[in-house]
Structure 1
Amino acid sequence: MTTAGIPLDQIVVLVATGLRRPNPGDDLAELVGDPWVLENVRVENHFAPQDEDHVDLGFTPGRKVPIKLDCRFVEADLKIATGLVEPHFMAGFSSGRKVVAPGIAHHETIRTFHSARFMEHPLARECNLEGNPLHEEQLEIVKRLGEVYALNTVVDDKRNLVFCSF
């Protein structure tokens, strides 16, 4: 069976864990939420400490952030990042570019973002994108990948979907 011309066995859902632990068994099933997905496509966890799972794409031009990303995403023919848009304490907002970096980044990239030079920057704050160094570097990283699509969602206080943007 194929969807949009892509055979199901060629679809990989890569769970962006950042530095968090991978989601085993029941945790993964709960996260995905649909048994059909688990039965029909590959669902795999990103694992930041595993060097061999990442491609080194150099450094961002401005602040020299190492760009090391999960090779499954980098080498994909079609890249779609999905996530929830909500305020983030230093990136301004979550979703989109944050799913890529730090979501599927190597631990060196993630630790760079969580260093004092980013965390203590006065413009690296909740709901601010203007001049936010973390946001700017995340955009540079995503640009390095070529075409990347994002499906961003917003939920209300009861976790009901209220908005999607692609």
Structure 2
Amino acid sequence: MKLTIPYGKDEAQDLVIPDENFAGVIYPNDVTVGNESDEIRRALDNPAGGPTLEEFLKGGKDVVFIVNDGTRPTPTRKVLDALDERMDLSSARYLIATGSHRAPTDEEYDFIFGKHYQPLKDKIYSHDSKNDNCINLGKSKNGTEMEVNEMAVNADRLVIITSVEPHYFAGYTGGRKSFLPGVASYKTIEQNHKLAMKREAQALVLDGNPVHEDMMDALEVVKGKQIFAIQIVLDRHQNIYKVEAGDLHKSFAAAVAHANEVFSVKIKEKADIVVSVAPYPMDVDLYQSQKALDNGKWALKDEGIIIMVSKCREGVGHPTFLQQLSLSSDPKEVLENLAKEYKLGYHKAAKMAEIAVWANMWAVTELDHELLKKANIRPFYKIQDAIDTALSLKNDAKILISMDGSITVPRVE
């Protein structure tokens, strides 16, 4: 079987797998996609609870849009194209929900805003969780201090443009994540993400998920804020499949149902080797690419090999998690160390160490090999080399390829 594995923005790596070892390729499920502009208009005209956008904006003196950063596939620019027919986009301000990420690059700003970037440039602000003035709005039930960017707090109308897909510890992206971690302070994000250390925090799970429940509790403190949400579900080709708009919670619930149709993928059985690809733009760094590992684990047999493929264009990313993984060659000891104290990024180390307890983690990246070895990750530059090595260890191994591992969640039927 000959395959082409995505690598970076415009590159690829060739892979040949013996037919007797090939278990298949999985993607998000195919769904029928109509006209994207019509779907956006349908959602805006028929909100899932609450007023239409035009009614919502009436009387608004300080309208702020919260939009995702460039590490997410959210087609913000397409939504803005549709909104341009209904409102003066220059009458609003735009806040990039970076969470704890860096500000977007020029290329990413163009990806986010498209043709609207230059006209709106002076009205766009990138949230800085460490340096921006964030206002304390109280605490969630779990004690998370809800500190939110003053630009969002002071606005009299908030419009959220986001996308909904599986998230490895929040259950799903979208909805409440635009606030926490989107435009929250570093301290708030750290307190919330500590809950990701719990095993109940996993993909496709909302009920009983402590991270999701904390986010929902935290939103109670901004209950009086007027919010209009536009939530998008993409297909596997990153075309718009469904859009839900209006009330934040009702539109999120509707979008989650659509997301399951796309991203929850049934498989007949688990494989000995799983190749999980983090495609562009999810391949920005190791910190973000880890999601492909976490999703791929659901298709992997005990003591199997999971191979993450990601260019990691900007390196490691947040270095804290890699430092923790490098403290011991025993993943159980890593988990014991992580339980003693929490800093932002430790949840990544915990999720990876949990996998390392029962499986082997390999990676095809451009990262320094010694760096990865210290973190108990076996490094390769080419996927073919990784597969050949794996088959030399188990020549009858079955190999499953997840081509969009960052958002595909395999489930055994």
Tell me the equivalent position of 2:93.
12
Q: For 1:101 and 1:56, how far apart are their aligned partners in 2?
A: 13
The equivalent of 1:46 in structure 2 is: 127
Residue in 1 that maps onto 2:211: 134
**What secondary structure, in the 3-state scheme, does the structure 2 residue paired with 1:79 have?**
strand
Please tell me whether the aligned partners of residues 156 and 162 of structure 1 are also in contact (alpha carbons under 8 angstroms).
yes
- Aligned equivalents of 1:38, 1:15: Cα separation in 2: 15
Supply the distance in 2 between the matched residues of 1:87 and 1:30 (Cα, whole angstroms). Answer: 22
Deviations 1:96-144 (A, max 9, x none): 10111001110001111222xx122232110000011111111122221
Tell me what 2:200 maps to.
123
Corresponding residue pairs, total: 159
Q: Does 1:55 align with 2:135?
A: yes
Pick one of 239, 258, 265 that aligns with 1:160: 239
Q: Secondary structure at the match of 2:157?
A: coil
Higher helix share: 2
Structure 2, gaps ≥5 residues long: 1-53, 61-87, 246-413
Name which one, 1 or 2, has greater alpha-carbon Rg. 2
- After superposing the two structures, state which structure 1 stretch, 22-31 or 128-137, moved more: 22-31
Secondary structure, in 3 states, of the residue corresponding to 2:135? Answer: strand
> Post-superposition shift, 1:90?
0.7
Q: Which moved more, 1:97-106 or 1:143-152?
A: 143-152
- Which residue matches 1:149? 228
TM-score, length of structure 1 as denominator length: 0.86
> Is the Cα contact below 8 Å between 1:95 and 1:152 reproduced in 2?
yes
Structure 1 partner of 2:46: none
- Aligned counterpart in structure 2 of residue 71 of structure 1, from 136, 150, 153: 150
Q: 2:186 aligns with which of 91, 98, 107?
A: 107
CA RMSD in angstroms comes to 2.0
Match of 1:81, SS state, is: strand
Give the TM-score, by structure 2 length: 0.36
Q: Any stretches of 5+ residues in structure 1 without a counterpart?
A: none
Note the C-alpha offset of 1:9. Answer: 4.9
Aligned-partner Cα distance in 2 for 1:93–1:125: 9
The structure 1 segments of at least 4 consecutive aligned residues displaced by more than 3 Å after TM superposition are: 3-10
One-letter identity of the residue aligned with 1:95: G
The answer on whether the counterparts of 1:123 and 1:130 sit within 8 Å (CA) in structure 2 is no
Identity of aligned residues (%): 25
Q: How big is each residue's C-alpha offset from its partner over 1:22-67, in whole Å with a ceiling of 9 and x where there is no partner?
A: 114343122222x2354047111111001x521111211x210010
Kindly provide the amino acid, as one letter, of the partner of residue 102 in structure 2.
R
Secondary structure, in 3 states, of the residue corresponding to 1:114? helix
Contact 2:163–2:233 (8 Å) recurs in 1? yes
1:157 aligned partner, one-letter code: R
Q: Does 1:95 align with 2:174?
A: yes
Native 8 Å contact 1:88 1:125 kept in 2: yes
